[in-house]
Structure 1
């Protein structure tokens, strides 16, 4: 006669399964963001709709396009955009420091983007002369946040850490955190809006009650997440809209990656992302505490 398995053993096993699923969603968010960014990079910042339509007519699946159509900068196919580079620097800092250390993040950011770097180009000189854009409230700050949200998801200081990470480059994301903690949820937006309207919300922002005030790219990214049926098609759809494809793609990729986990992200896309192995290694490192 088989002995009954003690309840405490069953509960321990269930907790381990839940923790593993949480870690997988966190890794999925980080990798999903990086892969989507790399996929969209060759069509980043294409605002000429006629040019874009001509490209899409020839290549309806434009991800990882071999020839960049970006009129502002050119990178190898499979490399990250400038947003993806910011996310990677943040991920690397979290991984090697064991958490968010703003001074370390500042130093890494300066080294990667500052004088003597590949970003030290004449096209950026006017912004450097003005000391940057400290009041910039565009989607840049959201596009890079998957690593820090994944690391601190479910912790009471998550929003504080997000705020500090954003202010390293912009002095001015509970939505992604919801998917990491809960997985797919058709009522995710309602849940997050309830949080934003909570009078006792931690770190309230002026824009909490003003959806209209959100950057247009973020509204489009939210639409992409809420209407997505599949990871690949969601990224293709946002690429077909032109403009800031990488910022939208990064956010959409993070939110969908958090829902489908690492294995749900297409292997062919992961293999084309040049930094994939490093991203995965760091992602696993910063999510060990979740297991």
Structure 2
């Protein structure tokens, strides 16, 4: 690939990733208002970037979930996309499941940075990660043959846990032994600690997700697809990432569909061809074909036909309808909001897809003013550029001090 071609591809991918953030932020004010008529009353023909207000939900069916958020903020979908982006950046564009799980728990769990709505897959995933870790510790303790006091066993677990959250396999033995040596110089105790660490490591499962087939399974895919665009292992990586939060076969199937769609668009293929390719991965391709039919854009009608909720079997046909009929980024985002329901979740496929086709600016691309209205846009765009252009920062070091208890 020549330099100009590579540069054009990178620009397209950067535009696409920016499109997800902008579309999510634009949709937040009326997210989970299911009444299209009420949405029209509140937002008119320009319903984007409204401040989240409970008053909007009076007189129409919906669920107000974003108290305290401001215009330009993103939903919990965007927050989760930020987590996987951070993990990909720290791992030089590669999916590191252990790192992703650790960051997910640190961000959304107790004491984490996220303040806002927590969806079902996130709640269950956090519970599962704690249970998986607890079971791994019990398995390690029960198979330790060295005679240790209860205090020694407890301290050894505390010493090894920071390392099992950051390291795996052959990386564990040396730092674990050094950490234990600060308190116990006896080789047998150090050996027991290494056994604990390696056993815990083997039992930390990568499939930590909820048995759930909702939009969080696909909303985090754009940065992952960007990192693996055009690669033969994209489908395998997609499944591995999805099962971290959504351990469900149907969710994985829809995620493969969404990833295939984005992969083709990020490589510059026409929308129609990308939709065709993606449909082959779908668990219900007929619904997607039906949604693409017709000559006009009618997002509220698509919502009436297929559903407006978070479930992928409802959301994906609506997404395909909008992508098949919208002629610009603005038109697609507004149609998605007017449809109602889980507009923020759908935005994470619609936004990147339309931005990959139409870019930034001009009559059809992401409006520059919308980019500027998105909260933390400079930092978000810097991370997108670093991920796509592969300008990695120095790898993070384990900041937890050797010998410190696990937190």
TM-score (norm 1): 0.81
Higher normalized contact order (CA 8 Å, seq sep 6+, divided by chain length): 1
CA shift in 2, pair 1:232/1:129, >3 Å: closer
Are the aligned partners of 2:66 and 2:117 in contact in 1 as well (CA < 8 Å)? no
Shift of 1:214: 5.0
Deviation at 1:259, TM superposition (A): 1.5
Query: After TM superposition, which residue ranges in structure 1, 4 or more long, deviate above 6 angstroms?
Result: 120-124
More displaced 10-residue stretch of structure 1: 90-99 or 111-120? 111-120
Number of the residue aligned with 1:72: 65
- Aligned pairs for 1:39-118 (under 5 A) are 39-49=26-36, 51-56=38-43, 59-68=44-53, 69=56, 71-74=64-67, 75-98=69-92, 99-117=94-112, 118=114
**What secondary structure, in the 3-state scheme, does the structure 1 residue paired with 2:355 have?**
helix
Alignment check: 8 A CA contact 1:34 1:80 kept? yes
Provide the rounded CA distance (Å) in 2 between the counterparts of 1:104 and 1:127: 19
CA distance in structure 1 between the partners assigned to 2:52 and 2:272 by the alignment: 37
**Counterpart check, 1:219 vs 2:334:** no
Between the two proteins, the alignment pairs up a number of residues equal to 264
Q: Please give the alpha-carbon distance, in whole angstroms, between the structure 2 residues aligned to 1:187 and 1:22.
A: 18
Distance 1:122 1:210 in 2: 32
Structure 1, residues 138-172: CA drift from partner, whole Å, max 9, x if none?
Answer: 12211121100011110111112211221121111
**Is contact 1:27-1:262 (8 Å) kept?**
no
**Cα distance, 1:54 vs. partner?**
2.3
For residues 105 and 125 of structure 2, the distance between their equivalents in structure 1, rounded to whole angstroms, comes to 15
Q: Any gaps of 5 or more consecutive residues in structure 2?
A: 57-62, 129-208, 249-258, 289-310, 392-407
Question: Cα RMSD over matched residues?
Answer: 2.9
Q: CA deviation at 1:116?
A: 3.2
Select which of 226, 239, 248 maps to 1:150: 226
Matches within 5 A, 1:183-202: 183-193=269-279, 196=281
In 2, distance between residues paired with 1:178 and 1:122? 31
Deviations 1:103-146 (A, max 9, x none): 1111111122112344587997x955994771111122111211
Is the contact made by 1:151 and 1:287 (CA closer than 8 Å) also made in structure 2? yes
Change over 3 Å in CA distance of 1:129–1:36 after alignment to 2: closer
Give the equivalent residue in structure 2 for 1:3.
none
Within-5 A mapping of 1:246-257: 246-257=344-355
Match of 2:260 in 1: 174
Give the stretch that moved more between structures: 111-120 or 144-153.
111-120
